[in-house]
Amino acid sequence: MPADTSSASLDEIDRGVLRRFDVTRKLGKGAYGIVWQATDRKSKQKVALKKSFDAFQNSTDAQRTYREVNICRMLHPHENIIGLLLVLKADNDRDLYMIFDYMDTDLHAAIRAEILEEVHKQYITWQLFRALKYMHSAGLVHRDIKPANLLLDGDCLMKSYDFSTDMWAAGCVLAEMYKGKTCFSGTNTLGQLDQIFLLLGWPSEEAIANLHSPFTRSMLEACGGEPSPEKQAAAWAELASIISNELAVDLLKRLLVVDPCARLSASSALEHEYVAPFHDPPKETSASFIAELKIDDNVKKTTANYREELYATLLPQEKDKAYRDRSTPGKNAPDYRRTSVVA
């Protein structure tokens, strides 16, 4: 992507932020914000600078912002979870700046570029399980695991970004690394379900009960019907011929299971032979806490409640200390010099 450091681009950033960060280029822009590559003028650390527009526009957006900031801070530092290094108020009191680890690319781009060797796929899978074990042990579910949210650096170091469903998604990511395209690419929901059942078979009564959804039976009735065992076997044979790694196929069969109670947990997945070359229990830690937000996430508060509580925890001296601690490699912080890609 060509560098975008035009005056029009820089005009979107508050002067106080520009005094602290040297903005190199715009990485992307969406409906809710912009992300730039930047360098801290003091530490010379490369970072991703995200500006969230109207972060407190309504109670739903304010709750989402409050949740994202606090959960990212709880999970940091973990080598495979993107680090939120600093949060800054915007001058207009509506937007919010978040400074993250900078990563070079994401898994989606790496898959499309067809640059992943077998060992890379195993290493990325191990790191994904490692991140999920840590999050799950803290009582958190990601809910949006996909290649574009798995960031990579030049050493293939992976970080999970954004935050039983996660393990299904992990299986889909593994399959996509081998297929080079989405695992179940139906043109609509029912078409996607037909593809899933063609590979995995029709769900049992126990699986239906374990899905805990009032819509399961009506969705099944709308599908194309139960595939024959022959068609299911042929679907697996086709997938296995693409993957050409028996251990990867075995792992997929334990992750891509319709019954959520029958899927591997992150902890169990780390013990699978497919990731054995990287399996290292001392590095596959659980969180020492259960994530809890000061404002109950099940109770919707006012926009002002979320904004005031967030600002109260982001006093300048606390922010500066946290940033210094987290941006200096040491025994309690990851070495950010290794993280030049994104997840």
Give the model's pLDDT for residue 224.
83
Based on the domain organization, do 125 and 179 belong to the same domain? yes
Based on the domain organization, do 98 and 211 belong to the same domain? no
Mean pLDDT is lowest, of 105-119, 263-277, 300-314, for: 300-314
Categorize the per-residue pLDDT at 144 as very low, low, confident or very high, splitting at 50, 70 and 90: confident
pLDDT exceeds cutoff 90 at 338: no
Based on the domain organization, do 331 and 220 belong to the same domain? no
Using one digit for the tens of pLDDT, what is the confidence trace for 146-179? 999 899 887 777 777 655 789 999 999 999 999 9
Give the model's pLDDT for residue 20.
94
pTM: 0.84
Cα angle value 23/29/34 (rounded, 5°): 45
Q: What is the mean pLDDT of residues 186-204?
A: 91
Query: Does residue 288 sit within a domain?
Result: no
* Amino acid, res. 342: V
Based on the domain organization, do 262 and 174 belong to the same domain? yes
pLDDT exceeds cutoff 50 at 238: yes
Q: What is the mean pLDDT of residues 56-79?
A: 91
Based on the domain organization, do 256 and 115 belong to the same domain? yes
Collect all residues with Cβ–Cβ distance below 8 Å to 209 and sequence separation of at least 6. none
146 assigned to a ligand binding site: no
pLDDT exceeds cutoff 70 at 315: no
pLDDT exceeds cutoff 70 at 341: no
Catalytic residues: 144
* Amino acid, res. 43: S
Categorize the per-residue pLDDT at 30 as very low, low, confident or very high, splitting at 50, 70 and 90: confident
Q: What is the mean pLDDT of residues 222-250?
A: 93
Q: What is the mean pLDDT of residues 47-70?
A: 93
What is the distance between the alpha carbons of residues 264 and 132, in angstroms, rounded to a whole number? 12
Q: 132: left (phi > 0), else alpha (psi -120 to 50), else beta?
A: alpha
Based on the domain organization, do 149 and 88 belong to the same domain? no
Using one digit for the tens of pLDDT, what is the confidence trace for 278-295? 999 999 999 999 988 888
The conformation of residue 97, written as its DSSP 8-state character, comes to E
Query: Does residue 122 sit within a domain?
Result: yes
Domain containing 266 — which CATH number?
1.10.510.10
The conformation of residue 261, written as its DSSP 8-state character, comes to G
For residue 161, CA distances in Å to 70, 75, 320 come to 14, 11, 23
Mean pLDDT is lowest, of 125-129, 145-149, 228-232, 312-316, for: 312-316
pLDDT exceeds cutoff 50 at 80: yes
What is the distance between the alpha carbons of residues 265 and 262, in angstroms, rounded to a whole number? 9
The per-residue pLDDT of the chain, averaged, comes to: 86
pLDDT exceeds cutoff 70 at 250: yes
Q: What is the mean pLDDT of residues 15-26?
A: 94
Domain containing 45 — which CATH number?
3.30.200.20
Give the model's pLDDT for residue 339.
22
What percentage of the chain has pLDDT greater than the value 90? 63
Based on the domain organization, do 235 and 260 belong to the same domain? yes
What is the distance between the alpha carbons of residues 160 and 332, in angstroms, rounded to a whole number? 19
Cα angle value 177/112/85 (rounded, 5°): 80
Q: What is the mean pLDDT of residues 175-192?
A: 91
**Domain span holding position 139:** 105-283
Based on the domain organization, do 258 and 333 belong to the same domain? no
Domains of the chain: total: 2
Which of 260, 316, 266 is CA-nearest to residue 81? Answer: 266
